[in-house]
Amino acid sequence: MSNSAGELYLAEIREQPRALERLVAQRAELAAVSRLLADRAPSIVRLIAHGSSDNAAAYGVYAFGLLSGWTALRDSITLTVYYDAQLDLPSSVVVALSQSGETPDVVEYVVRARQRGAPTIAVTNDPESDLADAADVTFPLAAGEERAVAATKTYLNTLAALALMAAGVSGREREVGDGIRRVAELLDGMLDPIERAVPAIATTFAYVARMFVIGRGIEFATAREIALKLTETCRVAAEPLTATDLAHGPIAALDPLFPVWTIASRDEALPAVVDAAARIREAGATVVASGNASSEVSGAAYELPVPEPPIPLLAPLLSVVPGQIFAGALARAKGLDPDKPVGLSKITRAR
């Protein structure tokens, strides 16, 4: 393995504070999106995405629900694009998430939705992409060029974009924007300590081939994204679960060689995560605790805490970062290059 393996991936993690600041500075672009949403006041916000963007969409369900009181869902691309289901799209707003803006079936969904009368919003890192051309309005992620294949800064900016969009129709845009700026400051202060702490932990996991990642509520998106990073960069068969899903069968798979990553944030879902961690320890599995309430997870073998955000809803912008850094360190411990995961490219096309 080259000594430079993972340099691009880590560099983009370090760029995340500046990327967030650029996103929040796009006031005119956010205003255009907010006007479209406010004018339509949709019955449903349909979030369309794949991969890391789809993980961010899981967060968007909570952002719209908690900030604006709107129903948002991760919609099926297959229903519309492949089965041509005649859904009631005019009463919805479609928010399509794609870092590249070139994923063919995401673009096709937007084309069809617009033809059927649904207002459409593109959230993409490329404002000149096919997706941006297909949508009514675009909210650029402004994350800067991604040089590593595995998404990091575009994922974080997608979370922030969804929070800003939801806040923009609820009169909380300034509060959330200021909160994201504060998150960027907190990220600046936490990156170096986590980078120094993670390699020694990752080395002890070099044998690991399977893992559960546990979160609940707003942090289930984080569980999904950390699991994806472990899978694509480290070849670990990582499965995301809600804290309550663990008890419905998956806990039977645990043993001392099956570690579990838990994300504990100080919110209404914390008791379920703490209870799940207790069950995991009873099964003899190793527990890694992260999040701003990681200290509440007693008996964890390893702890990677993060600061508390100014607004609880913004916790996932901080809690995903230890998982990003850990995935890069574990890939290197396994002799893999997190910059170039095997079989992956920046744009996923159907085959």
Mean pLDDT of the region 128-156: 95
Residues paired with residue 297 on neighbouring β-strands, in sequence order:
none
Tally of domains within the chain? 2
Whether residues 33 and 121 fall in one domain: yes
Whether residues 147 and 279 fall in one domain: no
Place of tokens 């202060």: 189
Q: Is residue 283 part of a domain?
A: yes
Whether the pLDDT of residue 205 is over 50: the answer is: yes
Q: Is residue 45 part of a domain?
A: yes
Which sign, positive or negative, has the C-alpha torsion 211, 214, 219, 220? positive
Q: pLDDT tens digits, residue range 209-263?
A: 999 999 999 999 999 999 999 999 999 999 999 988 887 788 888 888 899 999 9
Question: pLDDT confidence of 350, banded at 50, 70, 90?
Answer: very low
Whether residues 100 and 195 fall in one domain: no
The CATH number for 165's domain is 3.40.50.10490
Q: Is residue 86 part of a domain?
A: yes
Sequence-distant (≥ 6) Cβ neighbours of residue 221 within 8 angstroms: 55, 56, 57, 58, 59, 62, 159, 215, 316
Give residue 67's pLDDT: 95
Q: Which strand (E) or helix (H) includes residue 168?
A: helix 153-168
Give residue 341's pLDDT: 74
Q: Is residue 183 part of a domain?
A: no
Give residue 272's pLDDT: 93
Whether the pLDDT of residue 1 is over 60: the answer is: no
d(CA 218, CA 215): 8
Place of tokens 């929070």: 163
Q: Is residue 348 part of a domain?
A: no
d(CA 79, CA 81): 6
Q: pLDDT tens digits, residue range 72-100?
A: 999 999 999 999 999 889 899 999 999 99
Whether residues 196 and 278 fall in one domain: yes
Whether residues 120 and 223 fall in one domain: no
Q: Which amino acid is at 257?
A: L
Which of these, 64, 19, 345, 25, lies nearest to 154 by C-alpha position? 19
Q: Is residue 264 part of a domain?
A: yes
Whether residues 322 and 291 fall in one domain: yes
Please, are residues 31 and 39 in contact by the beta-carbon 8 Å criterion?
Answer: no
pTM of the model: 0.95
Q: Is residue 251 part of a domain?
A: yes
Whether residues 23 and 167 fall in one domain: yes
Whether residues 162 and 26 fall in one domain: yes
Residue where a domain stops, chosen among 117, 137, 171: 171
Give residue 3's pLDDT: 53
Whether residues 202 and 165 fall in one domain: no
Whether residues 21 and 80 fall in one domain: yes
Give residue 340's pLDDT: 80
Whether residues 224 and 269 fall in one domain: yes
List the end-to-end C-alpha distance of the chain, in Å, as a whole number. 30
Q: Which domain holds residue 166?
A: 7-171
Q: Is residue 269 part of a domain?
A: yes
The overall average pLDDT reported for the chain is 93
Q: What are phi and psi of 49, to 5 degrees?
A: -175, 170
Whether residues 211 and 327 fall in one domain: yes
CA 314 remoteness from chain centre? 12
Of 203-212, 237-246, 318-327, highest mean pLDDT: 318-327
Which sign, positive or negative, has the C-alpha torsion 76, 79, 80, 85? negative
